[in-house]
Amino acid sequence: MELHFRPYAREDHERVLAICLAAFAPIHEGFAAALGPALFRIHYAHWREDYAAMIAGWPPADPVARVHLACRGAEIAGFVETRLDPANRAGEIHIMAVDPALQRRGIGRRLCEFALDELRGRGATSASVGTGGDAAHAPARALYAAAGFTRSVPAVHLFRLL
């Protein structure tokens, strides 16, 4: 599949938001099932609006963050935001998503490779990426492991009603 990468521009907002919401919907469905309706409503009821606000803030005012798109011709297939802490030269893949209709075609792998090259080019000497431990995140975990992310710090998010 022929892909090229380019920086995000404001006119990309609608398509990128659509990809983001479609890609992260199964994850939030899993959160809803795991937490139940009351806790999900408290903690994640506005997940769509939160992603919309994040994307509306792009390009980020923070000069250490950059957003790039993976495109097939004129079609946006996915996106990635990278961040670099220049003081310690630590890079991060902050968020990455591929249109669900185009997943399982190597686009995520190519986006990840692009992000790592981009961070390396800005002087990063390490990179991190966060993902979930639930079943909905299994494809992301496999992708990141294949990209060489082999060290992890286990984390658990616990919830309760008060």
| CATH for 70 | 3.40.630.30
Pairing status of strand 90-98 against strand 126-129: parallel
Dump strand ranges (E) for 10-53: none
- State which residues form the domain around 123: 4-146
153 domain-assigned = no
Does residue 145 carry a pLDDT above 80?
A: yes
- DSSP assigned state of 58: P
- Kindly give, in sequence order, each residue whose CB lies less than 8 Å from that of residue 11, ignoring residues fewer than 6 positions away: none
Q: Using one digit for the tens of pLDDT, what is the confidence trace for 93-132?
A: 999 999 999 999 999 999 999 999 999 999 999 999 999 9
Q: Using one digit for the tens of pLDDT, what is the confidence trace for 14-62?
A: 999 999 999 999 999 999 999 999 999 999 999 999 999 999 999 877 7
155 domain-assigned = no
d(CA 79, CA 6): 10
